[in-house]
Chains A and B, each alone.
Chain A
Amino acid sequence: MLASYFPNGLAPYLIGGLFIGSGVALLFLCTGRQGGVSTFFSAAWSWFSRRPFFQQASLREGRQWRLLYALGLVLGGTLYAGLGLPLAASQLPAWKFAVGGLLIGFGARQGGGCTSGHGICGLASLSPGSLLMVLTFLGTAIITAQTLSYLGVAP
């Protein structure tokens, strides 16, 4: 019963989740910051755009640590691959990344966060608003993915 829902076992998920959680915990304990990722993608525009929206203090003040944090995320992936740990290939059509990326960028910023901000930090903060957001984007994603599978547009 359990095995049919976890064909790849439990360990990689639990161990990976603890690494992810350790990163978020380390950031909070050392710097007091909530380690959401998606704000970086708005804050990055504050270097290039003079528009008042992108020049607001909250984006300008956070942009440096958010850049370092984003760089760390990339390097964490590089470290994993560099150690020769198991890595399965991935192949999705480019149009899905292009369209999906646009929706993700707009939606996560309009929604005030993504899986890390609302999902990890928000839930760990016991924020009712973040819980509502997680249920909203998780529910929409499940319906979207299953509808596309049903229509034969997947993976």
Chain B
Amino acid sequence: MKQRLNQIATLASGILFGFGLAWSTMIRPESVLAFLNFRDLGLLLVLGSAVGLNLFVFQLAPRLRQRALLGDTFQQRPFTANPQALAGGVLFGLGWGLCGVCPGPALAGLGTGNGDLLIALAGILAGAWLQGLWAGRAARN
């Protein structure tokens, strides 16, 4: 039962996220590129309102409750930046600046019927595969 609720909540979260990406026009690469060229700063409002809401949620919920509503622990974000990660950020930025797509909007935009995004999604999958080979190789050395 709890597992089923967990699945429903996960799917519903994704639906809200995808719906919002469509509403905010971020699924259109042209909208993202308009922001990156400073022609329409809307993306800052999208990020700002999404972060603003979650600042309360991420900061307050773990202080008010031991566990999430369905009983699991609240996950922390155990990330520290290092040169490897920053190099990854530069590559991601190059791709994002080239085509105005990031992983979430690629999925949501496909859902609205933009079939061209299948090319971007195939590229992202291939890129993730290559990164796995790269990171796996580096780990063995």
Q: Contact flags (1/0) for A81-108 with B, using CB distance below 8 Å?
A: 1000101101110101111111111111
B88 touching A15, Cβ below 8 Å? no
A93 to chain B, nearest CB (A): 9
For B45, the closest partner residue in chain A by CB is A13
A100 touching B88, Cβ below 8 Å? no
Interface SS, B side: helix
Which residues of the partner chain B approach A19 to less than 8 Å between Cβ atoms? 16-17, 19-20, 23-24
Chain A 1-46 residues near chain B, CB threshold 8 A:
5-8, 10, 12-35, 37-38, 40-42, 44-45
Which residues of the partner chain A approach B103 to less than 8 Å between Cβ atoms? 37-38, 40-41, 104-105, 108, 114-116
A103 touching B94, Cβ below 8 Å? yes
A28 touching B61, Cβ below 8 Å? yes
Q: Of residues A51, A94, A111, which shows the largest number of chain B Cβ atoms within 10 Å of its Cβ?
A: A111
Which residues of the partner chain A approach B20 to less than 8 Å between Cβ atoms? 16-23, 76
B129 touching A16, Cβ below 8 Å? no
Partner of B75, one of A34, A77, A111: A34
Q: Contact flags (1/0) for A106-131 with B, using CB distance below 8 Å?
A: 11111111111011111111111110
B13 touching A69, Cβ below 8 Å? yes
Which residues of the partner chain B approach A118 to less than 8 Å between Cβ atoms? 79
A76 touching B116, Cβ below 8 Å? no
B10 touching A27, Cβ below 8 Å? yes
B111 touching A75, Cβ below 8 Å? yes
For A135, the closest partner residue in chain B by CB is B89
Partner of A78, one of B59, B80, B112: B112
B49 touching A102, Cβ below 8 Å? no
A123 to B125, CA, bound (A): 25
A101 touching B50, Cβ below 8 Å? no
Chain B 92-111 residues near chain A, CB threshold 8 A:
92-104, 106-111
Partner of B122, one of A14, A37, A101, A137: A101
By Cβ-Cβ distance, the 4 closest A-B pairs, closest first, are A101-B123, A72-B14, A105-B127, A76-B18
Taking A38-B128, A129-B79, A132-B81 as given, write out 12 further A-B residue pairs in contact, using a Cβ cutoff of 8 Å, ordered by the A residue number.
A13-B24, A19-B16, A23-B12, A23-B18, A32-B73, A85-B23, A87-B112, A88-B25, A105-B95, A110-B87, A110-B92, A114-B103
Q: List 16 A-B contacts (CB under 8 A).
A: A12-B42, A13-B24, A19-B19, A23-B16, A35-B17, A45-B132, A65-B6, A76-B17, A81-B113, A98-B120, A106-B134, A110-B135, A124-B51, A124-B55, A136-B86, A148-B98
